[in-house]
Amino acid sequence: MSRPLVAILSGAGISTDSGIPDYRGPRGLWTLHPDYEKLVTIGSYMADPEIRCRSWQMRRETYALNPRPNAAHRAVTQLDQSGAVALRVITQNTDGLHQQAGLPARKVLELHGTSRSAVCTACGARIPAEDAFARIDAGEPDPPCLKCGGILKTATVMFGENLDPSVLDQAAAVARACTVLFAVGTTLRVYPAAGLVALAADSGARLVIVNAEPTPYDEIADEVVREPIGEALPRLLRELAPA
C-alpha cells in the first residue's frame, strides 16, 4: 500500500522560535520597519548602492544570530524519518533550517530561494553566502562578483523577481497530489505560494492552518490552530505517526 503524501507549506512563523523575525506579524520586520522592503526589492537593490549595503548588513546580522532548527523543524524531520508518510516541504523561507534539522534537501522545495548562497546578477556565478559576509567583515560593504565585477546578491527571490518555474511546477504537483497540507507560520497573502493552498483544497486535500493571525484561507480550512507553532505542530504531526 502506498503511503499518503503529506505536504507542509512553511512560512516565516515556523522560524521565529529560532530567533529569526517574521515579516508581517505584530513584531515583524515589515511591520516595524516598512522601509526594509526596499532592501529586498530587486529594482531598488540594483539601482542604489546604499540599498545594497543596507541589505547586505541586514543579511549579515541574521547570519550572525546563527539560528538553529527548533521543535517545529525537528518534528517535520521526525515525521519523515518515521516512514509513516511520504513527505514534502514547500517553504517560503530562505534560512535552510529544514535541511539543518536533517530533512533531505530533495524533499524541500525552496520557493523563494536560499540565503545560504550568493549569486552574481551578471554572470550567474555562485558562492557560499558566508564568503560574501567575510568580505563584508573585511571592509567591503557591497562586495562585487570576483569573476566579472557584477552586482552580487543573496540567492533569494526578491520582490520584483520571478520564482523559479521548475520549483513552482514541482510545488504545484505536490499540492495537487497530497492527502493533507499543513500551512504553517504563513499569512497566505503572498502569491503564488498562497495559491498552493487553494490548489490542494480543490484537489481534495485536508487543509490544516497553523498560524497566530487569521489568513484569507481560514474559511476553507478543515482545521485552524492558533497555538504556538513549536507546541502545535509537533503534536499534530505525531498524530500522523503515533509511536
From CA 215, how far away is CA 62, in angstroms rounded? 27
- Active site annotation includes 112: yes
From CA 220, how far away is CA 197, in angstroms rounded? 10
Q: Which of 33, 73, 98, 112 is catalytic?
A: 112
From CA 130, how far away is CA 227, in angstroms rounded? 35
The x, y and z cell numbers of residue 92, run together, are: 517560503
Nearest residue to 7 (alpha-carbon basis) of 167, 192, 181, 172? 181
Torsion (CA) 50, 123, 137, 58 in degrees, nearest 10: 50
From CA 109, how far away is CA 104, in angstroms rounded? 11
- The H or E element spanning position 126 is strand 126-128
From CA 121, how far away is CA 113, in angstroms rounded? 14
SS3 130: helix
Residues 6+ apart with CB under 8 A from 14: 70, 72, 73, 93, 97, 184, 185, 229, 233
**Cβ proximity of 5 and 90 under 8 Å:** no
- The residues carrying an active-site annotation are 112
